[in-house]
Amino acid sequence: MSEIERGRGIALWSQIGEILAEDILKGRLRQGDQLPSAQELAARFDVNRHTVRRAMAALEQRNLVRTEQGRGTFVQEQTLDYAISKRTRFTQNMRNLNVEADIEILEDAREIPPTQVAEALGLGRSEYVYRIDTLSHADGHIVDHSTAYFPAMRFPGLPEVYRRLQSVTRTLSEFGVNDYVRKHTRVSARLPEAATAKLMKQLPNRPVLHVQSINADPRGMPVQYGITRFSGDWVQLILMADD
């Protein structure tokens, strides 16, 4: 099928979707390629842009394309299988996948944490934490927006160490915590907050994988409470059996 056929009883948007899907599945459009704009496709098929948008929405539902706010529509790449296990480490996960990755530090602060965070870390009502917000990138794409909390009294000056080392594992090791394990993980799918959607450059009606976690040292004392919002378009979470 190369062009649409009018009067054959199949909606025009459906025909357009099938043509583009065939281009993707047969490799004429490759992973990561940008599709022509709605205006260009409307001109190609001699239809209005609303018809093109319906076709693109159908392709998104089939996970063949993704839309990036302000950039356009792209052929969907293969998702990353992100392993969550007793010893989850971002850098090691990316290395296992042979993916180039980096972490961008957005902000850090010393503050009184929300009640849920304080309870998870076993802190009193007036005890401080360090909060660090980051964006993780893999192969040039934003994988997640994370917020990590660390007990400030136990880890004085932690943000400066983290900025220097760019690694939670190496940072905690500087404070004598040479190993830590995942004590608790809770995963849910939810719509991102407006700030997260903007940071991750995704539409606010696209769900993220929301992961809340607690890491503890070998004595069972919590050392980190984390909230990670993974891109639902890029990441597939794999829950592993205990090591």
| pLDDT 10s digits, 83-108 | 889 988 888 888 888 888 899 999 99
Question: Of 75, 103, 126, at which residue does a domain stop?
Answer: 75
Residues 20 and 131 occupy one common structural domain: no
Q: Which of 44, 34, 45 is nearest to 73 (CA)?
A: 34
Residues 25 and 106 occupy one common structural domain: no
Residues 30 and 104 occupy one common structural domain: no
Residues 109 and 216 occupy one common structural domain: yes
10-67 pLDDT, tens digit per residue, is 899 999 999 999 998 888 998 889 999 999 999 999 999 999 999 999 999 888 898 8
Strands (E), 197-241: 208-216, 222-231, 235-239
CATH number, domain with residue 173 = 3.40.1410.10
Question: Of 75, 105, 125, at which residue does a domain stop?
Answer: 75
For residue 19, is it within any domain? yes
Question: Of 75, 103, 119, at which residue does a domain stop?
Answer: 75
Q: Determine the Cα–Cα distance for residues 236 and 230; give it in Å rounded to an integer.
A: 9
pLDDT class of 243 with cuts at 50, 70, 90: low
Q: Which H helix or E strand runs over 85? A: none
DSSP 122-180: T--TT--EEEEEEEEEETTEEEEEEEEEEETTTSTTHHHHHHHH--HHHHHHHTT----
Residues 33 and 143 occupy one common structural domain: no
Q: Determine the Cα–Cα distance for residues 223 and 228; give it in Å rounded to an integer.
A: 16
CATH number, domain with residue 37 = 1.10.10.10
pLDDT reading at 110 higher than 90: yes
Residues 64 and 146 occupy one common structural domain: no
Residues 61 and 85 occupy one common structural domain: no
Q: What is the pTM of this model?
A: 0.74
Q: Could you say which DSSP state residue 97 is in?
A: T
For residue 190, is it within any domain? yes
For residue 172, is it within any domain? yes
More confidently predicted of 241 and 78:
78
Residues 57 and 117 occupy one common structural domain: no
CB 228 within 8 A of CB 213: yes
| Amino acid making up residue 44 | R
Structural domain range at position 150: 80-239
Contacts of 121 (CB under 8 A, 6+ apart): 113, 129, 149, 151, 214, 222, 225
pLDDT score at 1: 43
Residues 17 and 130 occupy one common structural domain: no
Residues 33 and 110 occupy one common structural domain: no
Domain count along the chain: 2
Residues 148 and 228 occupy one common structural domain: yes
Residues 215 and 121 occupy one common structural domain: yes
